[in-house]
Amino acid sequence: MNKSILVAYASKYGATREIAEKIGEGLRQAGLQVDVSPVDGVRDLAPYKAVILGSALYIGKWQKEAAAFIKANEKMLSERPVWLFSSGPTGVGDPVELVEGRRLPAALQPVVDRIQPRDIAVFHGYINTGKINSMEKWAIKSVVKKPFGDFRDWNMIVAWTTTIAEALKEAERTA
């Protein structure tokens, strides 16, 4: 079996891609072999011993390509260690509380329950007013009432990545 780890992601405006890249960088610094790729670029999970999959949360849902990916690859994901993350809530405070305790969209929960990921994280997001259209700006300001700006907690992301690296390295030692 290959020793590579896949960090796959779906990002609406690039903030989740940056989180995935940071995760990949942390795993590489821990001495692990990592591929970071948008989910649309992943053709086969067979070469990977572990998968970290993340998506931007947008209006409470994962990006369509990430939801399709997890459903299409359920069997292979259930056969290897998997970690999931969502990014998106803006504002101050615990990101899980900001999404009312929902670590994942409800529609994905049955698939995720069968995959049995090692952990599911929620990271703060980034709403860049320079990248969204006027309708999205209005909806964010008036309907969902979320603050604009970059609320990503890089220390939280690095700490989560470190726990993954430790788990993977321990698995290698005991294999």
Burial of 75 (0-12, 13-18, 19+ CB in 10 A): exposed
Q: Provide the number of structural domains found in the chain.
A: 1
Judged against a pLDDT cut of 50, whether residue 1 lies above it is answered with: no
Beta-carbon contacts of residue 116 (< 8 Å; ≥ 6 apart): 78, 82
Give 6's pLDDT tier (boundaries 50, 70, 90). very high
Which residue in this structure is represented by tokens 């899980």? Answer: 96
What is the extent of the structural domain holding 142?
A: 4-174
Closest C-alpha among 53, 120, 135, 56 to residue 89? 56
pLDDT digit string, tens, across residues 148-164:
778 899 999 999 999 99
- Mean pLDDT for the stretch of residues 70-75: 96
- Mean pLDDT for the stretch of residues 94-108: 75
Supply the CATH number for residue 93's domain: 3.40.50.360
pLDDT digit string, tens, across residues 20-63:
999 999 999 999 999 999 999 999 999 999 999 999 887 778 99
- Mean pLDDT for the stretch of residues 54-81: 93
pTM score: 0.87
pLDDT digit string, tens, across residues 106-139:
899 999 999 999 999 999 888 766 777 677 666 6
Distance (Å, rounded) from C-alpha 91 to C-alpha 80?
A: 34
- Element (H or E) spanning 48, and its range? strand 48-58
Judged against a pLDDT cut of 60, whether residue 17 lies above it is answered with: yes
